[in-house]
Structure formats: C-alpha cells, structure tokens
Amino acid sequence: MDPVRHLKISIMVLLLLLSCGTLGYVLIEGWGSLDALYMTVITLSTVGFHEVHPLDHAGKIFTMILILFGVSVIGYIVGSLAQIMFEGQFHRIIGRRKVEKAIEGLREHYIICGFGRIGALICREFAARPLPFVVVEKDPAVIDRLAEEGYLYLRGDATSDDTLLKAGIRQAKGLISVVTSDSENVYITLTARGLNPALFILARSSEEGSEIKLKRAGANKVVSPYLIGGSRMAQAVLRPNVVDFIEIATGREHLELQMEEIVIPEHSGFIGESLASSGFRKETGVIIVGIKARDGHMVFNPESHTKINAADTLILLGEPSAILKLEQLIGSGTGADELINKHKDKGRHTNA
C-alpha cells in the first residue's frame, strides 16, 4: 500500500481513538469533556503526567486499553512519516498535486489509454504539435517513464469510470485507446462512450474481427497497426517513390513539405466562394488535394469551381509556412473580396 495512504488511515484511527477516549472518560468517570480530552491526550502520548482525577477500577482498565492502542497507532504514524521522508515521497506528493491540478484544468484535450510503444509514439507527436493530452496507465513500471518524459499522467485502470472522470473525460475532445488487449480496448470504449456520448474515440485493434466489436462499442475509428505496417512494407517494395512522398508529406521531421487539414469556421468570409475565387492558391501557394464535407463526403482533387461551405475540412499540401499563413487567413475573418482588392492594389503599385 502507498505510505501516504497508510499515513491517512493512521491519522483517522488516531482521531477516532481521541474521540472514543474522551467519550469513555466522560461515561466511565463522569468527567467534563475538557478533562476527559486532556486525559486522553496525555495517555495516548505517554508523557507520564499524573491522572487528572483519581481513577476507579473501570477507569484504570480503560486507560490501559487506550495506551495499548495509542502506542501502536502512534508508532505506525511515525513509521509512515519516516518512510515518506526517507524515500522521497514528500517531494513526489507535492509534484503529484501539481500534476493533478494541471489535469483538472485541461479542456478540449485528448486522453491516451496505454503507454506502450504505440502510445509513446502518439505522445511524442502530440507533444511536438503541441496538443493537450493526459495518459492513463496502470503499470507501475511504466509510470516512472511517464514522469521522466514530463507528460501529464494518471495512474489507474482506464476501464474504470472514476479513472476516466479524473482524466477529465467530460471536457475532453477525444480518447485514444491503445492498450495491448483488444478486450480492454472494447471495455474502455464502452466506458468512455457512456460517460461522453459526443467524444471522438480512436481504438487500436490487434486481432481479426475486433474492429466490428470496437465500432459496436462506440469507437469512431479503429486502426490496426499490424495491418497498416504490413501494407506499408508491401507498398515500400511495390511503390517506393509513392511511399517516400507520403513519408515526406506526413512526417514531422521533414520540414520542406507537409500535409495538413483546416476546418472552415461558421463565420468565415470564404463561405460560398469557389476554390478559384477564394485566392487560396494565389495567396499562399498551397495545394488543396481534398475537401471533406460536414456529412463526411470526401472530394479528392476538387475542381476550381468547387464551392466552400461552413465546416468543410480542407486537406492541404504545402510548405509549413504556407499552411500556417492559410490557417491565419481563414481564422482572421478575411473574405475573398478583400483578397481580390489586395491583389488589385498590388497591381496598381506595380504599374505605377
């Protein structure tokens, strides 16, 4: 058991002994509450002071029993305190309190269940983004690694309602379940979906047939690392240049070209414009390779006359600086008319 929990239980037992001792002297000896409390304190602390009032036989027997219990409890408390101090638990407690407060303050974050090889890679990508996330892990050996990495983590079973509630599932944006057991991933998905029906849930599947069960349990998306890995290895032989291009476009370590997605907000000034009239390509140089509509319909390589609607997701390919510029442009509320006027002004200055 955790020494901190030992200490808490011991203090509760000590308070109970103080209450029982005070009540005992009041009932057995007929003393006032202050005298009874004073007698209980000096008895439990074994300081050796004389009795407050002479004791009868029943009072002496009660005092001996109180001393035996008191010495045991106080000795246990001293031992717990020594363990906390000597094992560095005191510093861990303070650090843990800070982590718990940070987790309580999370909003629109992701909960990652499991910190194995896949979970560690996801955390690394999220931290580089950066995206807010908290890791739920029950293996004590893995907890030390999480502390070393500096990630927010919660020790507990992700299939438990209490654990996910402590991780802030009601305020979370998404949950990623990547524990090694498919049955645990199903239980985690069921629990998470019950606690937050609007949550986006991504689950890992290892065995054949698990994908259907996970989707029935409430997962929005299911990924099989073995299936993706095998397909990627085959494609690396069959279409090596295509694989190289995908790695450049989606890899974080390649800065010259990236693939990204941007959602068109409801207040955007570009709603109703076509891709050609929006001026996205002319202003930033990014290539729009696809558009995913609100209803989930995906259009690949959209034509220039394709209209832009609210909540559309643009799939982009371009340099990171160009993608960032387009994100700022779409989020600023600037409309197509302003871009057109901007380019006309540039043309006038050039001709002048």
- Which domains does the chain carry? 3-87 (1.10.287.70), 107-227 (3.40.50.720), 239-351 (3.30.70.1450)
Would you give per-residue pLDDT tens digits along the chain (352 residues)?
556 676 777 788 888 888 988 898 888 888 888 888 888 888 887 776 777 788 888 888 888 888 888 888 777 777 777 666 665 555 565 666 777 888 888 999 999 999 999 999 999 989 988 899 999 999 888 888 888 888 999 989 999 999 999 999 999 999 999 998 999 999 999 999 999 999 999 999 988 788 899 999 999 999 998 888 888 889 888 888 877 777 766 665 555 677 888 999 888 888 888 988 888 888 888 889 899 998 889 998 899 899 999 989 999 888 888 888 888 888 776 555 565 555 445 444 444 4
Max CA-CA distance within the chain?
Answer: 114
Q: At what angle do helices 225-238 and 240-250 cross, to 10 degrees?
A: 130
Residue closest to 136 by CA, chosen among 195, 94, 78, 80: 195
pTM of the complete model: 0.59
In this structure, how many other beta carbons lie within 10 angstroms of the beta carbon of residue 177?
29
Residue closest to 133 by CA, chosen among 159, 167, 160, 96: 167
Q: 79 φ, ψ to 5°? A: -65, -40
Q: Residue 106 in contact with residue 132, Cβ under 8 Å?
A: yes
Instruction: Output the pLDDT for position 93.
Output: 59
Instruction: Output the pLDDT for position 348.
Output: 45
Residue found under tokens 């010495």: 71
Q: Residue 289 in contact with residue 320, Cβ under 8 Å?
A: no
Distance of alpha carbon 13 from alpha carbon 311, whole angstroms: 59
Upstream peptide bond of 132 is cis (omega within 30 degrees of 0): no
Residue closest to 323 by CA, chosen among 264, 267, 276, 261: 261
Residue closest to 169 by CA, chosen among 188, 150, 146: 188
List Cα–Cα distances, 351 to 15, 343, 345, in angstroms: 88, 12, 10
Quick: pLDDT tens for 75-95.
Answer: 777 777 766 666 555 556 566
How many residues would you count in the chain?
352
Nearest 5°: CA angle at 231, between 230 and 233? 65
Instruction: Output the pLDDT for position 203.
Output: 95
In this structure, how many other beta carbons lie within 10 angstroms of the beta carbon of residue 351?
6
Residue 95, token pair as written in the block = 């650090």
Instruction: Give the N- to C-terminal CA distance of the chain in Å, as an integer.
Output: 81
Calculate the CA 267 to chain-centre distance: 30
Quick: pLDDT tens for 245-284.
Answer: 777 666 655 556 778 889 998 888 888 889 888 888 888 8
Q: Specify the DSSP class assigned to residue 205.
A: -
